[in-house]
Chain A
């Protein structure tokens, strides 16, 4: 074949700029003193500090896991700064007091925090490095009793709620990175939707890593009380830097009886350059606990990060609860992803649905890893898994590691998998109809991901589709 899959120009990572702000940053290193210092900076109650210290001690005794199908140089945990915040004179009471440079950063990223310019129908909590710099639409949410604020504030303002649910889904001892996060988490978002309330707008957190050599360890806690409904979105970007940065977040979702929690992620952390220098290590623990008749739905579009290592999961604790996982993971150049989900069926008639779409281009390596576990009492449990991989070019890899454990013989578990390659014939066909190579690839890939994109709220589906196009640009000629 004379033609083929070779490179066009790679598009620049548009979110790769650095904001020049004065920061309050802890020196690199991790010790009990650092944990105490973070807690003190955040003016936390004693119980919170105790919890952090327990987590830290536990973390020290844990080995770093190396079972994922990814390769990276050892991380120097003493070389990372565990806290960085834009400097401010006093505590903020309104967005007007946020450093204008920080506000401009969000504008450039297309996330205006200014109330007049905001996307209607979306409330945003903006996390800049280690802290929340502002939460919008609060008043309207307060009217219906929805609490949406940074976790740091919630610890002070709603200590009982936080104490009850923090760590109830992902205990501090859960795994190495969750323990690290529990010890040093700096901020994140907290959502509580009261009984029977349907949250009137999309809630959204926008994470931005700015400072160099820092880690970001945010923690998000979403609680939907009985019969409540909430849809939550997160987006992430970081500047281009030649060193790797660690992002070890924890997200906990609690869906009390009859509640619905929908959690969507569009992850676009800096992925590193073509040779694999720099980029974010995205090592994240995300899990939800679904009580009776409730539903938890994860949707993720993972286009960024040098390494992605995450398994948004659902513990189907209550009878008739439903867990869903819709995922698109794209790797290009030297990116690596090991991602998937766990569905743990405990209650009767629990149902789970998994749709995973992995796209590998360049020299990227993409692994789907999933566990479907049906416990002895989960009679009538039902799982359907569909796991599709698409290869672009011939230097990339796609791997599938499905684990299925069924301990109840009334359960029905289905697993379907496919692997396909973007064909020269498909690209030529679309070009013959007047489309460019980029448009052709983007169309083929969007078609491949359609079942997942339709789960995203409209404007984010568009964003996701564009991101996908940008990530894959340069992978096909």
Chain B
């Protein structure tokens, strides 16, 4: 059984259709890249998978671990192992990263039928996770994403990924706004988290990230559909030729 099966998925924001029939199957341990020009629907796909209420699913189906994902609330999806690394991580002033992470970790543990951990146990867990993304322990005492640089925010997302150990991690333009060193650190962190039970959907505009996080499959979105799928070499072809050769005859995007 596949981890994730998407059939004929359509979705809109307000009255505007964005996804126009997505079909995609992700098996356990696979890494899929979703690429495409701005407005092609790739970020919308990430948001819909996470259950963002700002997007309305108008048709099709998503099956996750054999369950109807569209019936699940966002927090239930998270507890069931779906993680979205946000393109724009949200600031929560006054709430320390450590407190937030532990609360999230405990919710996910509870859903798995495991006991909650106390702050001391959690501190031990964090030591290892921080090393993974090369983060200073001082970050844990700062308010969630508040006043973080772009790079710190993205690293904080990967730290959360490392802590919550999802089955399906969706990275939404994690490379945007990162310089090459930060990109490498973030990619290294992700690579360490790849294993045969964890799947990734990496949403990106540029091929650059895929030099570091090498995907098993690459899908090109245009006009709310997947117009081409292939192996990692497809990303290289895109780098060389751009998107135009694939999107001819398709509406390139639905710009917001």
A1 touches B92 (CB 8 A): no
Asked whether A424 is an interface residue with its Cβ less than 8 Å from the other chain, the reply is yes
Interface range, B side: 20 to 34
Choice from B54, B74, B91 contacting A432 with Cβ under 8 Å: B74
Interface residues in B90-106 by Cβ distance below 8 A to A read 90-95, 100, 103-104
Asked whether A88 is an interface residue with its Cβ less than 8 Å from the other chain, the reply is no
A4 touches B53 (CB 8 A): yes
Closest to A451 in B: B94
Asked whether A431 is an interface residue with its Cβ less than 8 Å from the other chain, the reply is yes
Q: A3-B53, A443-B100 are in contact. Are A431 and B92 (CB under 8 A)?
A: no
Assembled-state Cα–Cα distance A425/B93 (Å)? 14
Assembled-state Cα–Cα distance A212/B171 (Å)? 59
B52 touches A434 (CB 8 A): no
Closest to A439 in B: B103
What 1/0 flags go to B166-184 for Cβ under 8 Å of A?
Answer: 0000000000000000000
Interface residues in B42-73 by Cβ distance below 8 A to A read 50-56, 73
Q: Which of B1-9, B78-86, B202-210 contacts A (4 or more CB under 8 A)?
A: B78-86
A429 touches B78 (CB 8 A): no
Q: A1-B54, A434-B79, A446-B94 are in contact. Are A429 and B104 (CB under 8 A)?
A: no
Asked whether B150 is an interface residue with its Cβ less than 8 Å from the other chain, the reply is no
Assembled-state Cα–Cα distance A450/B94 (Å)? 6
Assembled-state Cα–Cα distance A447/B90 (Å)? 14
Choice from B53, B90, B93, B107 contacting A448 with Cβ under 8 Å: B93
Closest to B77 in A: A432
Closest to B101 in A: A433
Closest to B100 in A: A443
B103 touches A436 (CB 8 A): no
B92 touches A447 (CB 8 A): yes
Interface range, A side: 20 to 34
Tell me the minimal C-beta distance from B90 to chain A in angstroms: 4
Q: A1-B54, A424-B53, A439-B103 are in contact. Are A430 and B111 (CB under 8 A)?
A: no
Residues of A within 8 A of B93 (CB): 447-448
Asked whether A403 is an interface residue with its Cβ less than 8 Å from the other chain, the reply is no
Q: A446-B95, A447-B92, A448-B94 are in contact. Are A428 and B78 (CB under 8 A)?
A: no
Q: A444-B92, A446-B95 are in contact. Are A424 and B54 (CB under 8 A)?
A: yes
Q: Most chain-B CB neighbours within 10 Å: which of A430, A434, A444?
A: A434
Assembled-state Cα–Cα distance A3/B84 (Å)? 19
Asked whether A466 is an interface residue with its Cβ less than 8 Å from the other chain, the reply is no
Interface residues in B115-153 by Cβ distance below 8 A to A read 143-144
B contact set with A: CB distance below 8 Å: 14, 50-56, 73-75, 77-79, 83-84, 86, 89-95, 100, 103-104, 107-108, 111, 143-144, 160, 164
Q: List 11 A-B contacts (CB under 8 A).
A: A428-B54, A430-B104, A431-B78, A432-B50, A432-B83, A433-B107, A434-B78, A434-B108, A434-B164, A439-B103, A443-B92
Q: A444-B95, A447-B93 are in contact. List 12 more A-B contacts (CB 8 A).
A: A2-B54, A424-B53, A426-B91, A428-B53, A432-B75, A432-B77, A432-B83, A432-B84, A434-B107, A434-B108, A443-B92, A448-B94
